[in-house]
């Protein structure tokens, strides 16, 4: 490759779209590094505190798409307290000053204020895509600024984002001429929206393919939207409570019958049987169905699933029960991703039987998130045998330290079978009664594992040593509620953390002294001690008593910018 002109290499790298592959290419030699710098148009920053925003803009002057992630996260909830940080202001400010030609901005788990949105709207005139995932701090007034000034906008997506309601007329702020809007998602909004403004916006958006509504949009408005845009491919339904007359359901069914392009469906807030029946014409073509917010009775849900023969992605709550999952297994042989979340009840209603049935009928399964009431080793071994293509497996049992529901033994052999049979496994989340044995299996067989999340383990310090020594590709390690892990386990990984991106430990048996030792050994990492009770740790206090103090939460992450300046009082950087 050294004999290729740089122009040729630049053309070749132009076809490399993976962030990881581009990062690897930039490490080949100095020439390739400079080629990547001047040609890369899409950049991902996995930790907003890992680098100064200005450094990103200097290194990638041709950047047109930027994705930034903020707070650390867990499988089922954010790990850190409100007020921990992850403000979007520095990133938005640097984009406004150094990259006014930015076309795509994606922020995840960050604090995005109205001032940020107004700066984006006033400075990034070429912005075509704004995606906010699990963000907070903004209101509908900020959205109005985006709608008014970003006249080239094709995508506005707010997924699981907290938006305070100030003005329901923000939808009327989009350009009055025909817009270029292709994707609009405001399903997370809890306030009212102007239904007439929504209909007018849809009518003048001929390229609209994806629309996800919130629960304030009634059935009659949904029907008129579908009549106007029958070529929608991704739909999030509004409310089935408001305007749910028999005539409204008939009109909805007629409109849905014309939506032959619909492939993805989500929503069903407080759905009734007639509402579900109204969508029967499109079920046979769906490849993605998200019922995470549904309140259907089991019978209606099963009748719906029986019609969805082409599903690749299915999100549910545990109200479906084991019998419903058996129907999924029979009806959806092409299923690749399944997520079964816990409902509002105190105890989940699905067991290992449902997941075993899925593994038997859905042999193409690659990703599974499963909240269940109990699990057994035999079930996990069966799942591993039936679904060797799994790349992500996240299991959450209601009783975190549950043993095998039949034998009372640890779940070591079951999870051991998962890591032995699923050679492509990259993401594993475990809970239940776990000992050193399962971590030995992980270190021996999980060669491609990148993220490991452990809850309530009962092994010893050796468990962490097995994982750190064996999993060469490990990037993120999360351990919670596991007092069996102490200072020995933490410091055993000093030589291994350099190859990782982050480590989170909470409610373990680690001390402040060990954390200080770790910080001294890893100058390119931030070692943050987070005390949920709000007590400030004096970093200069080096007494023996202070060194032996237990640390409630430890967050270790790689950074090129050093300790952050916006750490709140309950966060101490060692």
3-state DSSP assignment of residue 557: strand
Question: Are the C-beta atoms of 560 and 55 separated by less than 8 Å?
Answer: yes
**DSSP letter assigned to residue 64:** -
Written as six digits, the tokens of 484 are 């069996």
What does the pLDDT read at residue 346?
A: 61
Residue range 75-99: mean pLDDT, rounded: 83
What does the pLDDT read at residue 4?
A: 72
Question: Are the C-beta atoms of 564 and 528 separated by less than 8 Å?
Answer: no
| Helices and strands counted in the chain (H then E) | 22, 23
pLDDT per position as a tens digit, 253-304: 888 889 999 999 987 666 677 777 888 889 999 999 998 776 667 787 888 8
Superfamily classification of domain 42-208? Ribonuclease Inhibitor (3.80.10.10)
Neighbours of 538 (CB within 10 A): 9
3-state DSSP assignment of residue 418: helix
Alpha-carbon distance of 303 to 328, in angstroms, equals 10
Band of residue 345 on the pLDDT scale cut at 50, 70, 90? low
What does the pLDDT read at residue 270?
A: 66
What does the pLDDT read at residue 400?
A: 83
Neighbours of 312 (CB within 10 A): 17
What does the pLDDT read at residue 19?
A: 83
On whether the 1-40 domain is CATH 3.40.50.80, my answer is no
CA distances from 387 to 368, 381, 418, 425 (A): 10, 10, 9, 11
φ/ψ (deg, to 5) at 550: -75, 140
% of the chain surpassing 90 pLDDT: 61
Q: CB pairs under 8 A, 24+ apart, for 248-251?
A: 248/218, 248/219, 248/220, 248/223, 249/219, 249/274, 249/275, 249/277, 249/278, 251/219, 251/220, 251/223
Alpha-carbon distance of 238 to 161, in angstroms, equals 17
* DSSP secondary structure, 207-238, as one string: T--EEE--TTS-HHHHHHHHHH-TT-SEEE--
What does the pLDDT read at residue 535?
A: 53
For the chain, the domains span 1-40, 42-208, 511-574
* Closest alpha carbon to 308 in 278, 334, 326: 334
């Amino acid at each position: 490759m050294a004999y290729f002109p740089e122009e040729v290499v630049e053309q070749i790298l132009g076809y490399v779209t993976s962030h990881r592959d581009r990062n690897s290419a930039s490490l080949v030699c100095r020439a390739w590094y400079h080629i990547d710098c001047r040609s890369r148009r899409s950049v991902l920053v996995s930790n907003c505190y890992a680098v100064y925003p200005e450094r990103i803009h200097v290194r990638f002057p041709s950047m047109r798409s930027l994705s930034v992630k903020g707070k650390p996260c867990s499988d089922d909830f954010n790990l850190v307290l409100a007020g921990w940080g992850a403000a979007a202001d520095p990133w938005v400010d640097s984009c406004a000053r150094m990259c006014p030609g930015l076309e795509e901005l994606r922020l995840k788990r960050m604090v995005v204020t109205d001032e940020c949105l107004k700066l984006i709207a006033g400075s990034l005139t070429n912005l075509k895509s704004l995606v906010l995932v699990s963000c907070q701090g903004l209101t509908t007034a900020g959205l109005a600024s985006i709608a008014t000034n970003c006249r080239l906008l094709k995508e506005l997506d707010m997924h699981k984002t907290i938006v305070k309601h100030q003005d329901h007329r923000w939808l009327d702020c989009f350009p009055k001429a025909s817009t270029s809007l292709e994707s609009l998602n405001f399903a997370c909004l809890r306030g009212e929206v102007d239904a007439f403004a929504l209909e007018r916006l849809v009518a003048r958006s001929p390229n609209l393919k994806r629309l996800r509504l919130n629960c304030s949009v009634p059935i009659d408005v949904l029907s008129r939207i579908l009549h106007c845009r029958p070529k929608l491919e991704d739909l999030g339904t509004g409310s089935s409570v408001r305007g749910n007359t028999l005539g409204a359901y008939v009109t909805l069914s007629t409109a849905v019958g014309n939506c032959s392009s619909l492939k993805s469906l989500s929503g069903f807030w407080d759905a009734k049987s007639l509402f579900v029946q109204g969508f029967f014409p499109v079920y046979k073509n769906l490849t993605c169905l998200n019922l995470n917010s549904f309140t259907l009775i089991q019978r209606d849900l099963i009748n719906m699933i029986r019609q969805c023969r082409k599903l690749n992605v299915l999100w549910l709550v545990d109200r479906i029960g084991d019998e419903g999952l058996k129907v999924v297994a029979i009806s959806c042989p092409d299923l690749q991703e399944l997520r079964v979340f816990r409902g509002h009840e105190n105890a989940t209603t699905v067991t290992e039987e449902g997941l075993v049935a899925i593994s038997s009928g859905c042999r193409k399964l690659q990703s599974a998130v499963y909240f269940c009431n109990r699990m057994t080793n035999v079930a996990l071994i069966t799942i591993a045998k039936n679904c060797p293509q799994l790349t992500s497996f996240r299991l959450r049992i209601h009783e975190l330290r549950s043993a095998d529901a039949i034998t009372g033994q640890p779940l070591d052999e079951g999870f051991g079978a998962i890591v032995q049979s699923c050679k492509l496994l990259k993401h594993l989340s475990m809970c239940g009664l776990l000992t050193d044995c399962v971590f030995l299996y992980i270190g021996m067989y999980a060669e491609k594992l990148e993220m490991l999340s452990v809850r309530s383990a009962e092994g010893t310090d050796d468990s962490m040593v097995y994982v750190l020594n064996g999993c060469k590709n490990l990037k993120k390690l999360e351990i919670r509620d596991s007092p069996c892990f102490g200072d020995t386990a933490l410091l055993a990984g000093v030589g291994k953390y350099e190859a990782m991106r982050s480590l989170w430990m909470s409610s373990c048996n680690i001390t402040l002294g060990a954390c200080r030792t770790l910080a001294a050994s890893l100058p390119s990492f931030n070692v943050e001690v987070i005390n949920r009770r709000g007590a400030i740790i004096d970093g200069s206090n080096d007494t023996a008593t202070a060194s032996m103090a237990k640390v409630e939460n430890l967050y270790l992450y790689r950074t090129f910018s050093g300790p952050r300046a916006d750490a709140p009082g309950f966060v101490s950087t060692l």
